[in-house]
Structure 1
Amino acid sequence: MLVVLLAATLHASWNFLIKQKKDKHISMTAVVLGHAPFALAVLLFSPLPQIESLPYIVIGALLHTGYQLFLLYSYRIGDLSQVYPLARGVAPIVVAVVSVVFLGTHLDQIELSAIAIIGSGIISLSLVRRSRWFKKL
């Protein structure tokens, strides 16, 4: 549990730092390149991936790059308090939908409940934002 909380804290922290900086491309690049020494250290102690996994690695890298570009654009126009939860909350929903539709995965009641709770949280964020907008009118 502590590792999960530490990971969440680190994620939120680097997103906060990127949002605060004027040049978001440079700050995002610094965060991404900051991972490189740790990745290289891990590669020294782990086997190389099988050649069959290469397409998945490339697709995963492309999707993650798209996600980071989405964050950069979103942080230019949106509040961290809106963008970050939406970006983090949509991922489990997308994974669940792709898993069910394309991979034939069956989700248990508890998993469906978790997805519904996440979806409700995302919807509540947009409703809060909308109510603030209507108050300004």
Structure 2
Amino acid sequence: MSLFPLVLVLVAAIAHASWNLLSKQASQADGIVFLWLVAAASSIIWGPVAIGYLVVTETAPTWTDAAVITGSTLLHLGYFMLLQRGYRDGDLSIVYPIARGTGPMLASAVAVLFLDEHPAPAGVAGIVLVGVGVFMMSGGGAEGDLRGIAFGLATGVFIAAYTVWDAQVVGAFAVAPILLNYGGEVGRMAFMTPLVLGGRRPLIGRVWREHRYRVLGAAVLMPFSYLLVLFAFTMAPVSVVAPMREVSVLVAVVLGGRLLAEGDLRRRLLAAGVILGGMVTIALS
């Protein structure tokens, strides 16, 4: 991986861990309402950027663009809902590393099996290290919050799915990353609106009053972090970018241990370090 996409991925990792901290802090609120508010705020905040792109480039989305963006939106919707539900039951420093470690490991495997990417032996070793780190993070199957672990693993499946799908959207389908990102925000808001207005309307005001700064912070950082990753996908293979961005697991474990007072910090940092070592091995292969 060259220097520029590496910098993009590392900045994205810090932003990604930061918005996950905000989501964890709001995890006891209604998850659907919180995610809907974030998507609505993102649609407003990032709207001028998307419109400006269309005006400057003089392009218009096609029906094919809309179809593949819709597929991405549904995958991301499943990801966000599982992640937020996991944060209700489990620690940030457990759910996040397991989800982020499982996702790229599966994404790399799919890239090798179906996208004709061929990592070097060091890359394969890195993928194995990521798997070992995830196993350590779960307590070796003997300890830890089992519900949080289960939601982390399920979230990782969706991470793998949208990672591979979105890499093809910005690659093979040549959809601009900013359009994919913004279309996903608007799409999630649209898909969730019937759920929110159908039975959760009274909760909107309360969730907004209690978590408005977290909503606005996540609304800025969610698209920003993934936009950087989408640009990196246009410059480097999926099997390299997907694992390398997971340096955020180390950031998340530190945030969880220091700011949220989550326990067992030493073991979780060790497991995060193994995951990080695997990702660095993959990136340098």
Match of 1:96 among 89, 105, 108: 108
Taking the aligned partners of 2:104 and 2:144, their CA distance within structure 1 comes to: 27
Distance 1:35 1:87 in 2: 23
Matching residue of 1:6: 11
Which amino acid letter does the alignment assign opposite residue 18 of structure 1?
S
CA contact (8 A) 2:138 2:144 kept: no
Q: 1:93 to 1:39 in 2, by over 3 A?
A: farther
Larger displacement relative to structure 2 (122-131 or 45-54): 45-54
2:10 counterpart letter in structure 1 = L
Instruction: Write the letter of the residue equivalent to 2:134.
Output: I
TM-score norm. by structure 1 comes to 0.76
Q: Which amino acid aligns with 1:95?
A: A
TM-score w.r.t. structure 2 length? 0.41
The whole-number CA distance in structure 2 between the counterparts of 1:67 and 1:100 is 23
Aligned residues: 133
Amino acid aligned to 2:115: L
User: Structure 1 residues 82, 8: closer, same or farther in 2, change over 3 A?
Assistant: same
Which of 115, 119, 128 is matched with 1:107 structurally? 119
Partner Cα separation in structure 1 for residue 16 and residue 38 of structure 2: 11
| 1:39 shift after superposition | 5.0
Q: Looking at both structures, which has the greater relative contact order when contacts are Cα pairs under 8 Å and sequence separation is at least 6?
A: 2
Unaligned runs of 5+ in 1: none
Percent of matched pairs sharing the same residue: 32
Which residue of 70, 88, 91 corresponds with 2:82? 70
Counterparts in 2 of 1:123 and 1:43: CA distance versus 1, 3 Å: farther
In the aligned structure 2, how far is the partner of 1:9 from the partner of 1:34? 21
Question: What root-mean-square deviation, in Å, do the aligned CA atoms of Structure 1 and Structure 2 show?
Answer: 2.6
Q: 2:38 aligns with which of 9, 28, 31?
A: 31
Q: Structure 1 residue 91: deviation in Å? A: 1.7
Contact 1:93 1:119 in 2 (8 A): yes
